[in-house]
Every structure is written in structure tokens, then in C-alpha cells.
Amino acid sequence: DVKVTQSSRYLVKRTGEKVFLECVQDMDHENMFWYRQDPGLGLRLIYFSYDVKMKEKGDIPEGYSVSREKKERFSLILESASTNQTSMYLCASSSTGNNQPQHFGDGTRLSIL
């Protein structure tokens, strides 16, 4: 069974801090994704990666960056956290190929004070 693990379920940070959200998958998947989930807005793609050291912007990349130094790990970075980045963050992974399902982690509920 695919396991996608996010390092924290809940996180509270202060405005201006640099925040790291970590995600690890154990299925040797090539693709990894970071989404933000807000009520009424669904899942919005922040960044994704289809290979080590490769990254692509999603729909809402502003204020975020990512790092993929190893295949199993994909990190989301808030360079200078702001209150409008308070949200639920979901990581997902999938294998390469057409029509591959994405497998999600449990999410990190991030509050920026």
C-alpha cells in the first residue's frame, strides 16, 4: 500500500518565519505534488516535481518554493510566512504514465499568526 507521510499534522508559525513542510513517499514514485486546500476552493496545485531536482509551478506558486533532492522526499518552503498562507497543505505522489492515480498524505494544517 502506498504511504505518503507528511512530517506534521498541525503547525503554528509566526508571520515572517521561514517554514518547511516535508513529505516522504515509499513507493518510488516519480511524481510528487503540493496542494493547498481551502473551503470552497478545492485542491489548488502549488508546485509539482516529476523527477529529482526538477520542479514545475502549479496554479498558485507565489510565496512558495520547493526542493526535491531525493526521489522520495519533496519539501514545500514558505520563504516568509504570511497570514494568508494559513491553510491545509496536502502532499501527493504518483507514478509516471497516463492516468495514474495520486496518493495523498494526511495533510498539514498550518496556522500563521
Regarding 50 and contact with another protein (CB under 8 A), the answer is yes
Cβ atoms within 10 Å, residue 80: 11
Least distance in Å: CB of 12 to another protein? 18
b/e burial code for range 16-25 (CB count within 10 A of at least 16 → b): eeebebbbbb
7 alpha-carbon distance from chain centroid: 11
Residues 61-100, one symbol each (x = binds another protein by CB under 8 A, - = not), give: -----------------------------x---x---xxx
What's the farthest any 2 CA atoms get from each other in the chain? 41
Least distance in Å: CB of 5 to another protein? 11
Least distance in Å: CB of 104 to another protein? 4
Report CA torsion sign: 45, 93, 9, 40: positive
6 vs 85, beta carbon nearer another protein: 6
Regarding 56 and contact with another protein (CB under 8 A), the answer is yes
Regarding 52 and contact with another protein (CB under 8 A), the answer is no
Q: Distance (Å, rounded) from C-alpha 112 to C-alpha 83?
A: 5
Please give the residue ranges that form the binding site for another protein (CB under 8 A).
4, 31, 33, 35, 40-45, 48, 50, 56, 58-59, 90, 94, 98-107
